[in-house]
Structure 1
Amino acid sequence: MPEGLRSHVEAIPGKPLPRGILGASCTTVTDVSEENIHELNGVEWMALGCCPVKVWADPCEADPPGPPQTKEFCRPAVEHATPIHIYAGAQCSAPGWGYAEARAHAEASLTLGEQQAVEAGFWRTKLTADAVDLTPAAGPLSVAQGVAVLEGCLAESYGGVGTLHVPAGAAAILGCCNLLREDPETGALRTLAGNCAVIGAGYSAENTGPGGVPAAPGTAWLYITGPLVIRRGAATVVPDTPGPSVNTRNNDRRVLVERTYVVATTCTVCAVNVVVCP
């Protein structure tokens, strides 16, 4: 059949990856209410679980008795999380696109892509900024070795259930090595040690090490943190009325949808470079 005038149909719908930072069952996502809207400017708290719980050895029970001992006290650190601002914009010729259509398109774009953007923002502002690099001087480890090193780091500094951050491009390697299993109760992906895994498209797009250094070809960066608590603001449409959306100089219509997230975690952030291909 010869090519003719094409028919206009609905856009192809999509779904965010189910194991991402907003979809993984190991993250807590809370919508911030109007009365707590100031939390979207950033939050701070007294760290819980980062101070070690120690074993007391009574010197009087030693044979022979030892010198007097004192118990140690730990001053909790003040931790904080900064906002991540994301947006999606739609632009088209005003005569062919009404305000409602442009707004719906921008809102749908945000819904599909916001998880990837939050992952990229968290990777840049927290993971690469604060991580301790555990990659040995000899070079990248295998994926299994890398996960083992990260879980050891978290266990020594925190001891609770944490979060493994995996670029989507390295996820299949973890599967073939049986490093992750699905929790039948929650659907979360967990390691044998019990830590949860977030597999992120935004992580894969970044794939940088501490300090923002790009991964070498054939390698990927994995990170581990404590649990994640995510605060999410309402989506805001700019402009919120049709008139200001049109640029009278070129007759283009623009509509923007914005949203703020605050992603918080606790204690040590550890990183390691791993090989993702033979």
Structure 2
Amino acid sequence: MATGMEKAVEAIPGRPLPHGILLNQCTDVRDVDDEHELLGTTWLALGCQPVNVWRDPCLTDESPGEESPGAPPQKEFHRPVTETAEPITVYAGAECSTMGWSYAEAREHAEASLELGEQEAVEAGFWEHHLSQVAENLTPPGGPVNIAQGVAALEGCLAESYGGVGTLHVPAGAAALLGCCNLAHRDADGSLSTLAGNCVVIGAGYSSLNTGPGGIPADPGTAWLYITGPLVIRRGPVVTIPDRPGPSVAIRTNDRRVLVERTYVVATTCTVCAINISVCPS
């Protein structure tokens, strides 16, 4: 077959994974235009303080006898915790000779690249800059556990600190193991959830990092799982740089460069827990 005679056709289209951080039906993704929201957010945590059971001493049968009963029991008050979320900016750049690409073609290619790959990049940014930095490590001294034990430990950790519906974060490389013990099921809206009712996010970006608390890489044959509270993601508009053809050309090299980027602020609440699991059959 002769070389150099191939016909140029359109690129092969792709789709982001359907249960990733941006496409999961449990994730609250909000498009915002306020640049201040995209610089980071802060709020008073809701649901992180315990709701206690009150036992009225006047309704009990206990008698103080002759001893002094001491101070009467008091109901507890808790100050809300201030939480924050930092911005994650993801981008895709296209470069080619000006003889091969017009500005419109370069821009279209960069925009399509961002659309396909931004979910993975957001997952990697959230994993690296938040999950692995703040998580409580539940891995026992004996080392990695199987995935059923891991999910059970994470959901117990979340329930003790939050009590509401949270989010289980699973690297794509370990996702198939969820089916081994029926750990997740598909809901009517297409999302995945555990038997306890927590959402499941399966992330390609999680799989590419696979690091534990402190950013330590997982040992071969193991993977890290995390659990958090619910997710609220603020998403800014796509920004194209430059926004016109002229400045896209580097005069010295005669190459054209077009960059597109978008800023996200991924927020969650209360405790983040992590555990190391084995991905090899026992």
TM-score category of the 2 structures, normalised to the smaller one: over 0.9
Contact 1:131 1:270 in 2 (8 A): yes
Tell me which moved more, 57-66 or 143-152: 57-66
Counterpart among 58, 70, 82 of residue 56 in structure 2: 58
Kindly indicate whether residue 171 of structure 2 is the aligned counterpart of residue 159 of structure 1: no
Counterpart among 94, 103, 115 of residue 111 in structure 1: 115
Looking at structure 2, the residues matched to 22 and 248 of structure 1 have their Cα atoms a distance apart, in angstroms, of 39
Kindly indicate whether residue 176 of structure 2 is the aligned counterpart of residue 195 of structure 1: no
Kindly indicate whether residue 229 of structure 2 is the aligned counterpart of residue 226 of structure 1: yes
- The offset of 1:175, in angstroms, is 1.5
Report what 1:100 is aligned to.
104
- The offset of 1:37, in angstroms, is 2.3
- The offset of 1:187, in angstroms, is 1.2
Q: How many residues align?
A: 275
- The offset of 1:61, in angstroms, is 2.5
SS of the residue 1:211 aligns to: helix
SS of the residue 1:95 aligns to: coil
Q: Map Cα deviations across residues 243-268 of structure 1 (whole Å, 9 max, x no partner).
A: 11111111111000011000000000
User: In percent, how many aligned pairs have the same letter?
Assistant: 70
Counterpart among 264, 268, 271 of residue 265 in structure 1: 268
Kindly indicate whether residue 193 of structure 2 is the aligned counterpart of residue 182 of structure 1: no
The one-letter code of the counterpart of 1:274 is I
Contact 1:59 1:65 in 2 (8 A): no
Contact 1:32 1:233 in 2 (8 A): yes
Report what 1:9 is aligned to.
9
SS of the residue 2:149 aligns to: helix
Looking at structure 1, the residues matched to 63 and 119 of structure 2 have their Cα atoms a distance apart, in angstroms, of 59
Q: Map Cα deviations across residues 197-235 of structure 1 (whole Å, 9 max, x no partner).
A: 000000000100000000000000000000000000000
* TM-score, scaled to structure 1: 0.97
SS of the residue 1:169 aligns to: helix
Pairing of 1:116-127 with structure 2 (within 5 A): 116-127=120-131
Report what 1:75 is aligned to.
79
- The offset of 1:62, in angstroms, is 2.6
Kindly indicate whether residue 207 of structure 2 is the aligned counterpart of residue 204 of structure 1: yes
- The offset of 1:95, in angstroms, is 1.0
* TM-score, scaled to structure 2: 0.96
Pairing of 1:19-30 with structure 2 (within 5 A): 19-30=19-30
Report what 2:243 is aligned to.
240
| Greater Rg over alpha carbons, structure | 2
- The offset of 1:122, in angstroms, is 0.3
Kindly indicate whether residue 278 of structure 2 is the aligned counterpart of residue 275 of structure 1: yes
Q: Map Cα deviations across residues 124-163 of structure 1 (whole Å, 9 max, x no partner).
A: 1110011000000110110000000000000000000000
Report what 1:37 is aligned to.
35
How much is the aligned-residue C-alpha RMSD, in angstroms?
Answer: 1.0
The one-letter code of the counterpart of 2:205 is G
Q: Map Cα deviations across residues 7-52 of structure 1 (whole Å, 9 max, x no partner).
A: 100000000000000000110001003xx22100000000000010
Q: Map Cα deviations across residues 51-95 of structure 1 (whole Å, 9 max, x no partner).
A: 100000112233324642111001100001000011000001111
Segments of structure 1 that go 5 or more residues without pairing to the other structure are: none
- The offset of 1:2, in angstroms, is 5.0
- List 4+ stretches of structure 1 deviating above 3 A: 1-4
